[in-house]
């Protein structure tokens, strides 16, 4: 940790800033290329169709940018974090929806004006043209996915149902690709346009296939993960120790999480994210899970020796982002898991841990946390009490009373969404610089 801290002090660009710049540069360079291609291709058959083309080209770029955001490329994920990338993916997704709808509406309007017919008639005659029909089908799939991703609907759907419907976007991508290929305005408008669009599609698809398929499959074949032990931590919390071959070569860090599948025990489509609850030691990985639904509740019955399929490690909740020598680690409930792992990386001295639980009995892994804090000469405050009753320990005055030099520390927060939001709001009010604040929300979608 000290090494990272020293690097930052010496003026190196923080990793998150470097990654943001890289992404912005990618977006701006591609938009500039698309503007040049658009201008050099000349106008369409009328003004409306020219604007429609403009929206169509931008929809294609946005769609490919979407793939990069969810490709789980380690370089981006470790710097920005999957949670933040997913939030951006959501916003770009809705922008894409409106861009596609504008493109579609303008195409119909443009051709209606050209043929002096109604928009309805034009719509049905366009549906007879294969290239347009493919585009319409792609747009329809995007609309369905956008509807199920709207907050109101999303909150009422099971994660697996929503995820299954979301995967339809790959069908939309395929349709959109062929639509773009058959359209005369993009791939075939000029030789540079052809080279550019082929390169962009190959790059985006290559990134997606590598990050989502090749790397996880290769890692699982290489490491052959299996359950080494299952330990009950409390009535409703269990730790699963997973071992495998060459685990010293798995680039995992304390604070990260993996997406776990236990084939043979759970349905193959059930994959759940759990943080590493101990720093990886090159021999085992450990997750500690609270029973929330059927998958997490069933982990206690995992047979020792059964296979595990592990995707990851993912996440930016690590010491890579340290900027100060002192750390304040705040955990709520089972949010202690990545905090417990991060503690192992702490050097002697300046660490304070605030662990919020209803009662001492709910404080899982507390003995391990206590020992680690003691080894490092730090301070642990076990903050007990029912949620929402009495003064919150995370109000600005209470937090400052517990940790007077909070603004001088890096603050790592992990807990239930409401607690995490409350702590983040307090840190803003206390004017803790944003670059010193690191949060894991236990929620991706
Ligand atoms: C980055 C991250 C790290 C986490 N680390 C831990 C941890 O260390 N310990 C712990 O106890 N919990 C952790 N969680 C929460 C944990 O993933 C869920 O509690 C667990 O997936 C619930 O699964 P279930 O099938 O038992 O419950 P369900 O009732 O099926 O699901 C409960 C909730 O979890 C959501 N969920 C289910 N599967 C997924 C998925 N694949 N991706 C995103 N959300 C999903 C559902 O939408 C639902 O809201 C973490 C979550 C995230 C996002």
Predicted local confidence at residue 7, as pLDDT? 44
Helix (H) or strand (E) holding 329: strand 327-332
Domain termination residue (choose one: 184, 219, 254):
219
User: 428 and 399 in contact (C-beta within 8 Å)?
Assistant: no
Which CATH number fits the domain that encloses residue 302? 2.40.30.10
Note if the bond before 313 is cis, omega within 30 degrees: yes
Tell whether 351 and 264 lie within a shared domain: no
CA dist., res. 102 & res. 56, Å (int): 9
Average pLDDT value for residue range 377-381: 93
> Which is nearest to 42 in space by CA: 29, 53, 55, 57?
53
Q: Per-residue confidence at 444, pLDDT binned at 50, 70, 90?
A: low
Average pLDDT value for residue range 141-155: 90
Ligand 1 centre distance from Cα of residue 234 (Å)? 18
Which CATH number fits the domain that encloses residue 428? 3.40.50.80
Q: Per-residue confidence at 1, pLDDT binned at 50, 70, 90?
A: very low
Distance of CA 24 to the CA centre of its chain: 18
**137-141, 186-190, 226-230: lowest mean pLDDT where?**
186-190
Distance between first and last Cα of the chain = 30
Ligand 1 atom having least distance to the Cα of 274: 5
Predicted local confidence at residue 387, as pLDDT? 73
Tell whether 308 and 428 lie within a shared domain: no
DSSP structural state of residue 157: S
Domain termination residue (choose one: 314, 340, 367):
314
> Which is nearest to 238 in space by CA: 332, 358, 364?
364
Q: Is the CB of 164 under 6 A from ligand 1?
A: no
Predicted local confidence at residue 2, as pLDDT? 43
Q: Is the CB of 337 under 6 A from ligand 1?
A: yes
Q: Is the CB of 185 under 6 A from ligand 1?
A: no
| Residue ranges in 155-293 assigned as alpha helix (H) | 159-166, 169-182, 191-209, 215-223
State the Cα angle at 300 between 295 and 304, rounded to 5°.
110
Q: Is the CB of 275 under 6 A from ligand 1?
A: yes
- Strand, helix or coil at 134? helix
Q: Residue 230 to residues 242, 285, 303, 312: CA-CA distances in angstroms? A: 9, 12, 8, 21
Q: Per-residue confidence at 41, pLDDT binned at 50, 70, 90?
A: confident
Domain termination residue (choose one: 288, 314, 340):
314
Tell whether 385 and 250 lie within a shared domain: no
> Which is nearest to 135 in space by CA: 165, 84, 99?
99
- Determine, yes or no, domain membership for 154: yes
pLDDT > 90 fraction of the chain, expressed in percent and rounded: 70
Q: Per-residue confidence at 404, pLDDT binned at 50, 70, 90?
A: very high
Total domains, the chain: 3
**189-193, 208-212, 331-335: lowest mean pLDDT where?**
189-193
Average pLDDT value for residue range 82-109: 93
- Strand, helix or coil at 233? strand
Predicted local confidence at residue 380, as pLDDT? 96
- Strand, helix or coil at 273? strand
Predicted local confidence at residue 68, as pLDDT? 92
Average pLDDT value for residue range 343-366: 89
404-407, long-range: CB within 8 Å, 24+ apart, which pairs? 405/326, 406/328, 406/430, 406/432, 407/431, 407/432, 407/433
Provide the domain limits for residue 390: 321-440
Q: Which residue has the tokens 């005055």?
A: 397
Ligand 1 atom having least distance to the Cα of 294: 26
Tell whether 293 and 253 lie within a shared domain: yes
**Atom 25 of ligand 1: nearest residue by CA position:** 295
DSSP structural state of residue 302: P
Average pLDDT value for residue range 75-81: 93
> Which is nearest to 436 in space by CA: 78, 3, 8?
8
Tokens of 89: 């993916």
Tell whether 188 and 68 lie within a shared domain: yes
DSSP structural state of residue 128: T
User: How confident is the model over 351-360, as pLDDT tens digits?
Assistant: 999 999 999 9
CA dist., res. 75 & res. 63, Å (int): 21
Tell whether 278 and 339 lie within a shared domain: no
Helix (H) or strand (E) holding 272: strand 272-275
Predicted local confidence at residue 164, as pLDDT? 86
Q: Per-residue confidence at 5, pLDDT binned at 50, 70, 90?
A: very low
Predicted local confidence at residue 348, as pLDDT? 58
Predicted local confidence at residue 445, as pLDDT? 55
Q: Is the CB of 157 under 6 A from ligand 1?
A: no
Predicted local confidence at residue 349, as pLDDT? 65
Task: Share the mean pLDDT of the chain.
Answer: 90
Predicted local confidence at residue 15, as pLDDT? 87
- 218 vs 264, higher pLDDT: 218
Tell whether 166 and 97 lie within a shared domain: yes
Q: Is the CB of 205 under 6 A from ligand 1?
A: no
Residues 6+ apart with CB under 8 A from 354: 328, 329, 330, 331, 381, 383, 393, 402, 403
Q: Residue 423 to residues 14, 315, 325: CA-CA distances in angstroms? A: 23, 20, 21
Q: Is the pLDDT of residue 154 over 70?
A: yes
Cβ atoms within 10 A of the Cβ of 73, count? Answer: 19
Cβ atoms within 10 A of the Cβ of 265, count? Answer: 17
Tell whether 186 and 238 lie within a shared domain: no
Predicted local confidence at residue 390, as pLDDT? 57
Q: Is the pLDDT of residue 370 over 90?
A: yes
Q: Which residue has the tokens 């999957």?
A: 82
- Determine, yes or no, domain membership for 445: no
């Amino acid at each position: 940790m000290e090494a990272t801290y020293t690097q930052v002090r010496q003026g190196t660009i923080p990793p998150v800033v470097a990654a943001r710049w890289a992404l912005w540069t990618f977006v701006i360079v591609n938009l500039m290329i698309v503007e040049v291609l658009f201008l050099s291709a000349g106008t369409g058959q009328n003004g409306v169709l020219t604007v429609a083309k403009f929206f169509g080209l931008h929809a294609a770029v946005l769609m490919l940018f979407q793939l990069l955001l969810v490709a789980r490329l380690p370089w981006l994920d470790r710097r920005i974090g999957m949670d933040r990338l997913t939030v951006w993916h959501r916003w770009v997704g809705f922008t894409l929806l409106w861009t596609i709808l504008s493109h579609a509406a303008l195409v119909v309007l443009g051709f209606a004006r050209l043929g002096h017919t109604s928009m309805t008639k034009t719509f049905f005659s366009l549906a007879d043209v294969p290239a347009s029909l493919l585009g319409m089908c792609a747009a329809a799939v995007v609309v369905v996915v956008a509807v199920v991703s709207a907050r109101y609907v999303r909150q009422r759907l099971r994660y697996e149902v929503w995820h299954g419907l979301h995967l339809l976007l790959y069908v939309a991508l395929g349709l959109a690709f062929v639509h773009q290929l058959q359209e005369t305005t993009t791939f075939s408008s000029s030789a540079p346009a052809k080279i550019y669009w082929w390169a962009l599609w190959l790059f985006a698809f290559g990134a997606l296939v590598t990050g989502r398929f090749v790397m996880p499959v290769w890692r699982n074949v290489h490491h052959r993960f299996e359950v080494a032990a299952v330990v009950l931590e409390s009535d409703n919390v269990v730790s699963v120790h997973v071992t495998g071959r060459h685990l010293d070569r798995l680039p995992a860090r304390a604070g990260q999480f993996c997406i776990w599948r236990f084939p043979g025990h759970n349905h193959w489509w059930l994959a759940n994210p759990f943080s590493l609850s101990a720093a990886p030691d090159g021999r085992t990985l450990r997750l500690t899970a609270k029973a929330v639904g059927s998958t997490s509740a069933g982990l206690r019955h995992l047979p020792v020796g059964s296979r595990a399929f592990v995707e990851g490690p993912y996440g930016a909740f690590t010491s890579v982002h340290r900027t100060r020598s002192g750390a304040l680690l705040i955990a709520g409930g089972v949010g202690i898991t990545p905090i417990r792992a991060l503690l192992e990386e702490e050097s002697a001295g300046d660490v304070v841990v605030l662990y919020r639980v209803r009662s001492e009995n709910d404080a899982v892994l507390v003995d391990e946390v206590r020992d680690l804090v003691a080894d490092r000469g730090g301070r642990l405050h076990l903050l007990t009490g029912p949620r929402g009753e009495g003064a919150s320990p995370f109000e600005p005055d209470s937090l400052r009373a517990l940790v007077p030099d909070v603004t001088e520390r890096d603050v790592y927060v992990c807990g239930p969404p409401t607690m995490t939001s409350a702590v983040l709001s307090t840190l803003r009010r206390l004017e803790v610089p944003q670059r010193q604040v690191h949060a894991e929300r236990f929620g991706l979608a």
